[in-house]
Structure 1
Amino acid sequence: MTTQTESTTPDATDAGLSTDHSRAAVEGAHTHGVGGTPQGSRAERVTSFDPEVITVPTGREEEWRFSPISRLAPLFETGLSSRGVRTTVVEAPEVEVQIVPRDDERLGRAGVPGDRTAVTAWASVEEATVVSIPAQAVVSEVTSIRVEGIDDTPSASHLLVHAGALSESVVVLDHIGRATLTETVEVVVDDGAHLTLVSVQDWSEGAVHASSHRIRLGRDAKVKHIVVTFGGDVVRVTPDAEFTAEGGEVEMVGLYFADADQHQEHRLFVDHAVPSCKSRVTYKGALQGAGAHTVWVGDVLIRAEAEGTDTYELNRNLVLSDGARADSVPNLEIETGLIEGAGHASATGRFDDEQLFYLQARGIPEADARRLVVRGFFAELIQAIGVESVEQRLLDSIEAELSKSMSVIEGGQPTVGA
């Protein structure tokens, strides 16, 4: 039996944003969608390790309708190289790192590829980097993984982070340089383990990156998954989280800032397939400049057997200049009414002129006032990261982006909404 549950939507007070919701009922489920046509159940999407099953997209498919297909096309091919990137790991003393062949039995446990770039990444790699946190270890330092682009050769890479039972650890995955890369990031978190994983996309100009994150949580496992995107021409990150036993919790946090002609896309899927698990999704982005395009799609599926689920997802977008576009699509699919709570909210709006006037009326110069408003928009998420080096880097990157926007204002260009 299907029970329909109304979503809860808080006021869109961040930076004067407005909220827009459209709703669509799908047979056998309750869904909400914003910014597009209704879609079928996420549970029915095709997944496979075989590239013959997941074919090359045309751009008309639901999962590709916002994406620049022509720019991602090199990553749709099989037999990609591994020469375009170099992976370096600086591990904490308690952590073990191995390079393993693609037939290692530990690979493929976190889930199955769900789109074309994910399946070509899986099929193309010859070896993978495995980062293992021993059971019950409380890791003393951050483990840093750097993926550095060497050239534009279309390439594939594979990373597995395995957190043993009752362990506690922080892993930072950093992408720099220029590359054309499709990447698999598997995250397996055993019973009672706590893992924070930060993925930073700080590519140079010209980079094209598709990254499939597949997260599998055991009983009472907790994951904080953080995605930060600033650089690159095209970045498409698709995190999936799957609960396998009761008591699991996942917090998914994202922060992105798109400049002129950049495409930044984040597509999330949280699969509540067992009872008594919790998920929270909070993504915020800013964009400026002609051709800047951000996409956020948040899919949450509460299956019939997932009684006691507690879930909420939120996306906010702040448009700083003319010519930028933000697409935001939260989808909530509920197959049981026996839950603790479920809701979503989405808002996109222009820079708030009233806040700017308020600050200027109190003697704060326009440039400083704009910085204060944008920093306030991102402040909560930056503080939630919990990794000091990453937080400071974000503040520096936001400052650099705001300097670009001020050059537009000083040139007499108005700021308007999406």
Structure 2
Amino acid sequence: MTSASTPTKTIDTDRPAAPTHLRSAVPVQTRSDRFHSTNVADFPDVTGREAGWKYTPVARIAELISGELDGSPYAYEATTAPGVTTSWTARDDARIGSAGKPEDRASANAWTGFEQALVISIAGEDAKEVTVTRSALGNGARAAHTIIEAAPFSRATLILQNDGPAHLAENVELLIGDGAHITVVSVQEWDDDALHVATHFASLGRDALLKHVVVTLGGGVVRINPTAHLVGTGSDAELYGAYFADAGQHLEQQVYVFHDAANTRSRVTYKGALQGAGARTVWIGDVLIGPKAVGTDTYEQNRNLVLTDGARADSVPNLEIETGDIVGAGHASATGRFDDEQLFYLQSRGITEDEARRLVVRGFLSEIVQQIGSPALQERLQAAIEAELEAVAVAAG
């Protein structure tokens, strides 16, 4: 066992690194064929012209993509519940890397830099709720690695609460055992100048159900890329996201769902609101139905509500199908302003225009917040969204 003060870093790759010039020139035909490695040196420098980075303000997060990162263990707080434990583990833990491997330089930089991984273990068939909070990461560039291991048939809601200052690159692995029903909620309420780049890798066993919810309200640049690999027959992934971008804020999410077993199901729904000059959101959704994934049922959608001039939302859904024997597959994307008919209806009932606008936005995002299943957290997030809307009204007034 390696101590926190004298960590041993081991680097492994799935395959030999291709020459840089070939990796940048040869197009990838299938989403699952992208190059991946746990060694940051195997990835070329990021210019911002790459497919995975062209929407990202790479200059603002350059220290996380290529800089030296502090990978030491950090302070966190965790509530308690029967069957849930947290602990630190060394880099040679066999579970590390079993859910997925980095496909981009920032993820690989975090993987190369972390010293120990935080393990959150979940067991027991009784439903329970646990919150793990990070609020004192500081302004130094930092790497982190988290493993969430859910035992077969376990039931739990895990809330990952992020607030305060941070310059963080991290990877989160979710190992969802057979028959487990797990909800993981990642909440970003960072300080206004925080930087956060994260990749979440989830591997689902037979008949497992994962509900993954990302709520992002704070931070200067926040880029969270969830991946769900449905490797067990009958597994089910529901991926939700809600975000509210203010002036100068960049909120990005690149979602990837890989149906790799028979009779699997997925639903992806991300919804965002934007207000203020320079507010920017990015959503990219990739769904791959592999050749073994007969009986797949999948649908992904993204909706964006632009509240003021000067804000921009990019939305790119993608769908690849490698077998014709499926139940259904589809995607949708829409970005627009307020529905005039909704506003007219509310105003005709005596509601002021400002209040009508706030009601529309609140209802728009509430669909996602209500998926969390934690009444206390849902109420707090609704209040935070209300505060964002109040700021819009003040700015407009």
> Please, what TM-score do these two structures have when normalized by structure 1?
0.86
Say if 2:379 is the partner of 1:400. Answer: no
Say if 2:196 is the partner of 1:209. Answer: yes
Q: Distance in 2 between matches of 1:319 and 1:112?
A: 35
Q: Is the 8 Å Cα contact of residues 72 and 114 (structure 2) preserved in structure 1?
A: no
- Partner of residue 60, structure 1: 49
Deviation at 1:360, TM superposition (A): 1.7
Q: Distance in 1 between matches of 2:282 and 2:161?
A: 21
Taking the TM superposition and a 5 Å limit, the aligned residue runs for 1:149-298 are 149-298=136-285
Q: Distance in 1 between matches of 2:130 and 2:71?
A: 23
- Partner of residue 372, structure 2: 385
Q: Distance in 2 between matches of 1:161 and 1:174?
A: 14
Taking the TM superposition and a 5 Å limit, the aligned residue runs for 1:5-154 are 40-77=29-66, 79-82=68-71, 86-134=75-123, 137-154=124-141
Q: Is the 8 Å Cα contact of residues 253 and 281 (structure 1) preserved in structure 2?
A: yes
Deviates further, 72-81 or 242-251: 72-81
RMSD: 1.6
Q: Which amino acid aligns with 2:62?
A: A
List per-residue Cα deviations over 1:279-313 (Å, max 9, x = no partner): 00001000000000000000000112211111000
Q: Which amino acid aligns with 2:288?
A: L
Deviation at 1:139, TM superposition (A): 4.2
Q: Is the 8 Å Cα contact of residues 180 and 208 (structure 2) preserved in structure 1?
A: yes
- How many residue pairs get aligned? The number is 371
Deviation at 1:371, TM superposition (A): 1.5
Deviates further, 261-270 or 357-366: 357-366
Deviation at 1:83, TM superposition (A): 6.0
Residue 170 of structure 1 aligns to a residue whose secondary structure is strand
Residue 64 of structure 1 aligns to a residue whose secondary structure is coil
Q: Which amino acid aligns with 1:345?
A: A
Deviates further, 248-257 or 52-61: 52-61
List per-residue Cα deviations over 1:143-171 (Å, max 9, x = no partner): 11112243211001111110001111110
Summarize the Cα distance change of 1:82–1:49 in structure 2 as closer, same or farther, 3 Å threshold. closer
Q: Distance in 2 between matches of 1:376 and 1:216?
A: 32
Deviates further, 264-273 or 53-62: 53-62
Q: Distance in 1 between matches of 2:126 and 2:38?
A: 33
Taking the TM superposition and a 5 Å limit, the aligned residue runs for 1:336-355 are 336-355=323-342
List per-residue Cα deviations over 1:244-286 (Å, max 9, x = no partner): 1211000001100000000000100001112110000001000
Relative contact order (alpha carbons < 8 A, sep ≥ 6): 1 or 2 greater?
Answer: 1
Residue of structure 1 aligned with 2:314, choices 327, 339, 359: 327
Q: Distance in 1 between matches of 2:28 and 2:312?
A: 22
Q: Distance in 1 between matches of 2:364 and 2:391?
A: 18
Residue 215 of structure 1 aligns to a residue whose secondary structure is strand
Unaligned runs of 5+ in 1: 1-37, 411-418
Q: Distance in 2 between matches of 1:386 and 1:167?
A: 16
Q: Distance in 1 between matches of 2:131 and 2:240?
A: 19
Q: Distance in 2 between matches of 1:362 and 1:133?
A: 49
- Partner of residue 13, structure 1: none
Deviates further, 362-371 or 206-215: 362-371
> Please, what TM-score do these two structures have when normalized by structure 2?
0.90
Q: Is the 8 Å Cα contact of residues 84 and 181 (structure 1) preserved in structure 2?
A: no
Residue 183 of structure 1 aligns to a residue whose secondary structure is strand
Q: Is the 8 Å Cα contact of residues 92 and 140 (structure 1) preserved in structure 2?
A: no
- Partner of residue 291, structure 2: 304
Q: Which amino acid aligns with 1:174?
A: Q
Residue 76 of structure 2 aligns to a residue whose secondary structure is strand
Deviation at 1:102, TM superposition (A): 1.4
Unaligned runs of 5+ in 2: 1-26
Q: Is the 8 Å Cα contact of residues 226 and 252 (structure 1) preserved in structure 2?
A: yes
Summarize the Cα distance change of 1:84–1:74 in structure 2 as closer, same or farther, 3 Å threshold. farther
Q: Which amino acid aligns with 2:112?
A: A
Q: Distance in 2 between matches of 1:278 and 1:269?
A: 14
Residue 77 of structure 2 aligns to a residue whose secondary structure is strand
